[in-house]
Every structure is written in structure tokens, then in C-alpha cells.
Amino acid sequence: MSSNRPESDTADSTVPSNEHWSSVSKHVVNSYLEANNALLAAMGLSPSSDRHTGTLTARHSPETAEAPITELAFGDESWLMERSVDDYDDLDVGEYVRFTKTIDDTDVSAFAHISGDTNQLHLVESFAEQTQFGGRIAHGTLVAGTISAALARFPGLTIYLSQDLEFRAPVEVGTAVTATCEIVEELGETRYRLHTSVETDEAVTVIDGEAIVVIKSPPEH
């Protein structure tokens, strides 16, 4: 398996070096900004595009994918989003959102720092090489976080009620993943049941599950 572990980490290290932690401090701040970005997206900020057109995701064509949505504050130019509907009033069964990003080394390091999950499987290559995975993999809950990012990009204000997850395969550090959330049932009172999944750029399903959410009309600005 490939690894993006910095050369400064020695083979007998049990935790990332202080220098390595310092290198991700900016990324930690960006993680908080990403949460703000998700909130703005949930409030209905979106590109002006025709229904069911959206933006190509890296899962389908990383070489020719269009630029990400410029209207979303604190966005990353490498993130991609595709959604089937832009207006809240058009939400219905079959509508979906896809969100694509690469789970890179700084994501893994920042998540370990923020969550406290410093399992060596995710952080220390020499340790991870001795496991069944043959190298470092991303935290499962970090990968699952892309589902939340996709949900936030439905038009309106999306609120999680529940999420069931099945982890089917590991994700190597440096892998691009695409989370897809599709409405499969209207439950009434702005509640919806969705099929949620995450795939790698090689179309391998790594997470499968189901979510119950509330999607309210966007607040008036």
C-alpha cells in the first residue's frame, strides 16, 4: 500500500513527531472552517446550474472535472460536488448529492489530533505494515465524515437524526473518495430516509448505510 508518511518520522516512532503535529496546525484550523462551509452550504448557497446536471466528480473524471463551487466560503478547490436539485421545493425521492475529496495525510493527522484517536494503524507506517492492511489507513469515521459533507450540500438546512454504517473496506491515505446521499423515502414533517455510501475513485464501496435526516427550508437571509 502507498503511504504519504513524511520521511522525518523514524521507523521506531510510536507517535508522530512534534514537527509533524506542527505541520498540520493550519489544517486543523481549516477543519473548523470546513464545518462553517458545511453550514453555509446547508443554508442553500449553490451554483446556478440546471436540474440534474451538477458538477462532475473525481470518481468519474478527475482529469476533466469542473471547478468546485466558488460561492461556498472556505471551500477547497480540490473538493467537488454534484447534486441533482438546487431548489429546496424540488426535493423528492431520487434526488441526491455527491461530495468528493481526497483523504490525505494532513486530514488523517488533524483528525487524530482533534478526535484523540491516535491508533498507530493510522499514523505509524512501520506499525501499520505489520497488520493485515499492509500500511496506514484512514480512520473509518474520518471517511464517513464525507457523508455528512454531502448531506450538508442538499438545498435547505439538513439536520442529522440517525446514521447506520457498514465499513466494507479500508481507505489508504491519499485516496480520493466520493460520498453519495440519495433520498429513498419521505417520512413526513420534512423528515427523509436516505441511502448513504462512500466509494473510492476506483468505484470500490468502502462504506454503506442509511441515514434519517430533517431537511428544512433555508433560513431567510
Give the pLDDT band (50/70/90) at residue 74.
low
Which helix (DSSP H) or strand (DSSP E) does residue 23 occupy?
A: helix 18-23
Give the pLDDT band (50/70/90) at residue 70.
very low
Which of 20-24, 82-86, 194-198 bottoms out in mean pLDDT, i.e. has the lowest? 20-24
Question: For the range 129-136, what are the long-range contacts, defined as Cβ-Cβ under 8 Å and sequence gap of 24 or more?
Answer: 133/1, 133/170, 134/1, 135/1, 135/2, 135/3, 135/172, 136/1, 136/3, 136/5, 136/108, 136/172, 136/173
Mean pLDDT calculated for residue range 9-30: 42
Domain that holds residue 140: 18-70+77-216
Q: Is the pLDDT of residue 80 over 80?
A: yes
Who contacts 208 (Cβ-Cβ below 8 Å, separation ≥6)?
165, 166, 168, 196, 197
For residue 137, give the DSSP letter: B
pLDDT for 179-216, tens place per residue?
Answer: 999 999 999 999 999 999 999 999 999 999 999 999 99
User: What is the CATH classification number for the domain harbouring 199?
Assistant: 3.10.129.10
> Is 23 part of any domain?
yes
In this predicted structure, what is the pLDDT of residue 218?
Answer: 87
> Is 202 part of any domain?
yes
Higher pLDDT, 17 or 175: 175
pLDDT for 151-166, tens place per residue?
Answer: 999 999 999 999 999 9
**Mean of per-residue pLDDT scores for the chain:** 77
> Is 6 part of any domain?
no
Q: Is the pLDDT of residue 1 over 70?
A: no
Mean pLDDT calculated for residue range 5-33: 42
Q: Is the pLDDT of residue 59 over 60?
A: no
> Is 59 part of any domain?
yes
> Is 163 part of any domain?
yes
Tally of domains in the chain: 1
In this predicted structure, what is the pLDDT of residue 190?
Answer: 96
198: which strand partners? Answer: 179, 207
Q: Is the pLDDT of residue 37 over 50?
A: no
d(CA 162, CA 147): 12
Can you list the alpha helix ranges (DSSP code H) found in 98-161?
105-115, 120-123, 125-128, 140-151
Who contacts 89 (Cβ-Cβ below 8 Å, separation ≥6)?
none
Give the pLDDT band (50/70/90) at residue 221.
low
The HSE-up count of residue 146 (CA atoms within 13 Å, CB side) is 29
> Is 188 part of any domain?
yes
For residue 178, give the DSSP letter: E
> Is 25 part of any domain?
yes
Q: Is the pLDDT of residue 29 over 50?
A: no
> Is 221 part of any domain?
no
Mean pLDDT calculated for residue range 40-44: 41
Higher pLDDT, 51 or 176: 176
